[in-house]
Amino acid sequence: MRSSSVTRPGRAIGVVLLALGLAGCILSSTKVLTHSLGDLSIEGANFFVPATFVLSENATWREHRNDIARVDEVGVVTTVVNPTLVDASITLLVSEDPDLRNLRDLRDRAFPLFPEVRVPAGGRRAISYDESVDRLTSFDQVRTMVEDGTLTVYAVADGFFNLTLEDLTLVVTFTVER
């Protein structure tokens, strides 16, 4: 008798789960999208350089685009290389506009993605996903751009430097529901 009382709730839960599954109820899971743009160079007087992430070019995005319930985190991964003889800093800004042409436009229509990264003279500075997520100060704006499928990152140097962002990669964690 005791075993049947334990079994009945177990069966009831199983029947409910089966019914929900058959009825097409929502199941959710977390997905991670990585989208690389390769290397990005800032050279001489070109103190800021745009790089546009078009998420429709990404297979993970195309597969899950219509099922995204929410964007959970957005970050970048890269290594900044400074071959010059002086310390440098770089800031990554993001905008939905790929055609910003000057610092005033950047101030007015771009949001911080990763503020001021110091790179030693002749050195390298890795930016990890966790660090970029922690330092992101404009998540709501960036999330909206990701949901729209296109965002442009502007790498802005603090002077006339030759800096390279190696393998600039956007990483997005999102929840899908089906």
**pLDDT band at residue 16 using 50, 70 and 90 as cut-offs:** very low
CATH number of the domain that residue 79 is part of: 2.60.120.260
Q: Is 21 inside a domain boundary? A: no
Number of domains composing the chain: 1
CB crowding 155-166: b at 16 or more within 10 Å, else e: bbbeeebebbbb
Ranges 30-39, 41-50, 107-116, 163-172: which has the least confidence = 41-50
Q: Is 115 inside a domain boundary? A: yes
Q: Is 3 inside a domain boundary? A: no
Query: Nearest to residue 148, comparing CAs of 128, 165, 172?
Result: 172
List the domain range (segments joined by +) for residue 139.
28-177
Q: DSSP string covering the chain, please?
A: -HHHHHHHHHHHHHHHHHHHHHTT---EEEEEEEEE---EEE-TT--EEEEEEEGGGSHHHHHHGGGEEEEEEEEEEEEEEE-SSS-EEEEEEEES-TT--SHHHHHHH-EEEEEEEEE-TTEEEEE-HHHHHHH-S-HHHHHHHHHHTEEEEEEEESSS--EEEEEEEEEEEEEEE-
Q: Is 62 inside a domain boundary? A: yes
Give tens-digit pLDDT for 52-91.
999 999 999 999 989 999 999 999 999 999 998 989 888 8
Q: Is 12 inside a domain boundary? A: no
Q: Is 7 inside a domain boundary? A: no
Q: Is 133 inside a domain boundary? A: yes
Q: Is 8 inside a domain boundary? A: no
